[in-house]
Amino acid sequence: MIRNPHDDAELLALVRRYVTPDRRYLKLGGGLLRMQGPDGDRFTRDLREDAGLITADEIAKLLEGGWRERRTAAWLVAVSHRTEFRERIGELLLASEVCCVGLAYSVALASFGTVRDAALLATYLDRYLRRPDLGYDQTIVMGALQFIDLNLGGGQADRFRQPGGLWQQWLQNAPHMQVDSDPTSSFLSLIRRLCAFVDECAPAQAARRLQQS
């Protein structure tokens, strides 16, 4: 069940603390890459500080909300490298209950970057590449899966992208995706740049990822 902050005083307090100040929830995405100067520095600093301050219980509560709350929570999970939320993020991505959050979920999993994260992304593609009628987050998730593949060498995206495979079928049959070229490279680039932002926002976590790779 998706909770409405106006029906839940605890959730509303968290929204006012972490989600809506300076309209943070709207800036968490591709817009981060255009933020520069003092405003960008302040946004990054505040996001880093809140990622360190928010508790696991508070993140779990935000993940019960709507798209604004879930998007913000997923980014705080990514920046704080809270891998204990990996399975929950995977569940929410697969459920696709709300719009405007798939990129945040994908960045969180891609920033963790393990075989398990790749498996969660692949599970999503197994389901939604079979639904050309649904223009959800297939392209974003494919970009995230390829990002992990490039770092781990796992090749989990290969089985979708083989000639005549699910990826090609989806591109051909999805009415909104009838394009002449494969858009994967642009979404891979987006995921790469957003994960670089996560590492910049949380340099200690970037060092940990390098040690684990």
List pLDDT tens digits, range 155-179: 899 999 999 999 999 998 988 776 6
Q: How confident is the model at residue 203 (pLDDT cuts 50, 70, 90)?
A: low
Strands of the chain, DSSP E: none
Q: What is the pTM of this model?
A: 0.92
pLDDT in tens, 104-155: 999 999 999 999 999 999 999 999 999 999 999 999 999 999 999 999 987 8
Helix axes 67-80, 37-53, angle to 10 degrees: 80
Closest of 52, 126, 116 to residue 18, by C-alpha: 52
3-state helix, strand, coil split of the chain in percent (to 5) is: 75, 0, 25
Closest of 94, 41, 100, 40 to residue 75, by C-alpha: 100
